[in-house]
Amino acid sequence: IVFCSLVLVFTLLYLRIAWLAATPFYAETAQSQSRYTLALTQGRGTIYDCNGNRLVNAESGYLAAVMPSQENFAAVASHAVKLSRQELEQLWEQGKPCVVQVDGEFDSPNTWIYQVPIRYGEDQLAQHVVGYTDSSGQGAAGVERGYESLLASEDGGFSLTFTVDAFGRGVSMEEATGKLDNSAGVVLTLDREIQQICETTGEQYLEQGAVVVMEAATGKLRGVATFPSYSTDQLAEAVADEENTPLMNRAFQAYAVGSVFKIVTAAAALEQGISPDFTHNCTGSITVDGTIFRCHHLAGHGLLDLKGALMESCNPYFIALSQQLDPTRFWQIACGLGFGCSAELGDNLITASGALPDPEELKNSGAMSNFSFGQGALTATPVQLAVMVSCVVNGGWAPSPSLVEGTTQNGTDLDTQRISPQLTQVMSQETASILKEDLLACVMEQPGQNATAPNGEYVAGGKTGTAQTGQMDKNGEEYNNGWFAGFFNAGGTDYVVVVLSQQAESGNADAAPVFRQIALEMTAKYQTQA
């Protein structure tokens, strides 16, 4: 009787299971639970330079899709990258199909190896511009974040589908779908070769700072580098480094600029009809309404005109000059050059606006005096200074800075092109011509100028700046920002280079050598290509 009862129970149970399996809902659920999809690549769009060179997905590596088993553990472990043996053992205990980064191709049971693009390479270029994605694959900074909707929407992810048992362990690989690479994406104005020159030179000279290379006629940014840099493999360490703030894109941030701003003061004076022959006798200081402003050359420079004052970077001269200016018209020149305004370099890619005192503030003689040589309430970005110098080079026409050319589907042709605003005339051609000659003299005629080509390899103009920051080191010494903003021609194109060196001795000591090295390498690059 007991035996018959057991037979009856198991028979009913078998029939119940058979009925459940035949019921559509349960049948579909069982089928879905027996398939497991493993994503190897996201299919995220690519970011290119202006010549179609990849700035992401430029390097490749190997991924192994594995159904863990005793037969393939040893082979995978011997080729695994970035995973310890203990971590691999834990994956194998779970038994689910998994992805392991490996060092190359090899044969092993139930192991499928694919060569795939690596999003960020070992020596990733333009990291601060490109940005990075977070753990979910979403853009978190830079172009990755600014163009998230475009980069994330592109088709191309590659995945494998496995049959798994009730415990999720792989039984067989059923199919592979999608593409390993995605050529659609965003095209930047950056030039990979120029970017490489900026980064290599900056790493040699700058602990904290930035380099910007702008094509003067168009405002297109051909190189943007920030120091120190960071690795996407060590984001946690970069976030925690509050002293060096490596995640900050200094090229797009605003700082005290110092004497490079004397170019604007000179432009405002010339535009208001003051002759370049205007002179001032520098005795080492100047007093304005009871406030004494000292020159960096305490003995004084003597009698100077505009050209001599720019070459010697004489503060008292520009203070005296500023007292002759109408504050509103001075402010209008600065505003026309982009000071006090953020720049939209691409969709959702915006620089800091910096600080520009308004005309009412400049009616105060002290504020006007500080403003004349780039101190006081004024701050600006390296990009704004590049626009300022470009305006001089362009005969008085200021470009609108840009970082994005447009979008592409194949990595070669632009499908949509970003339209940049037209150039704006900020000063007369005559004013620009005078300033250009004076800036050429600052580099080519001034003794001890570190921006000068050692053997006459190029002709350049520019201006140094050493800006007080109000920040002190542990010894009570004030930090300075060292600047150089200059121009030269390479391959028939006028380029503007702006260099910021934080915690510097001076612009000539710390920033000008960076300009010189970049100009030398870019000049050599175009001579070689010719």
Give the mean pLDDT of the chain: 91
Rounded CA-CA distance 147/143 in Å is 6
Q: What does the pLDDT read at residue 1?
A: 55
Instruction: Kindly give, in sequence order, each residue whose CB lies less than 8 Å from that of residue 385, ignoring residues fewer than 6 positions away.
Output: 212, 257, 260, 483, 485, 498
Q: What does the pLDDT read at residue 429?
A: 98
Q: Is residue 419 pLDDT above 90, yes or no?
A: no
Q: What does the pLDDT read at residue 263?
A: 98
Question: Which range, of 329-333, 486-490, 524-528, averages the lowest pLDDT?
Answer: 524-528
For residues 40 and 99, the answer to whether their CB atoms sit within 8 Å is yes
pLDDT-derived band at 382, boundaries 50, 70, 90: very high
For residues 497 and 222, the answer to whether their CB atoms sit within 8 Å is no
Q: What does the pLDDT read at residue 526?
A: 85
Q: Is residue 237 pLDDT above 60, yes or no?
A: yes
Q: What does the pLDDT read at residue 67?
A: 96
Q: Is residue 19 pLDDT above 80, yes or no?
A: no
Q: What does the pLDDT read at residue 528?
A: 72
Instruction: Kindly give, in sequence order, each residue whose CB lies less than 8 Å from that of residue 119, ignoring residues fewer than 6 positions away.
Output: 44, 56, 57, 133, 232
Instruction: Kindly give, in sequence order, each residue whose CB lies less than 8 Å from that of residue 403, ignoring residues fewer than 6 positions away.
Output: 129, 143, 188, 189, 190, 220, 221, 224, 345, 346, 349
Q: What does the pLDDT read at residue 33?
A: 53
Q: Is residue 229 pLDDT above 50, yes or no?
A: yes
Q: Is residue 372 pLDDT above 80, yes or no?
A: yes
Q: Is residue 305 pLDDT above 70, yes or no?
A: yes
Model confidence over 48-85: pLDDT tens digits?
Answer: 999 999 999 999 999 999 999 999 999 999 999 989 99
pTM passes above 0.85: yes
Q: What does the pLDDT read at residue 469?
A: 84
Instruction: Return the closest-CA partner of residue 203 out of 443, 518, 528, 524.
Output: 518
Q: Is residue 246 pLDDT above 60, yes or no?
A: yes
Q: Count the neighbouring beta carbons within 10 Å of the beta carbon of residue 330.
A: 24
Model confidence over 152-178: pLDDT tens digits?
Answer: 975 668 999 999 998 889 999 999 998
Burial 250-285 (b: 16+ CB within 10 A, else e): bbbbbbbbbbbbbbbbbbbbbbeeeebebebebeee
Q: Is residue 530 pLDDT above 80, yes or no?
A: no
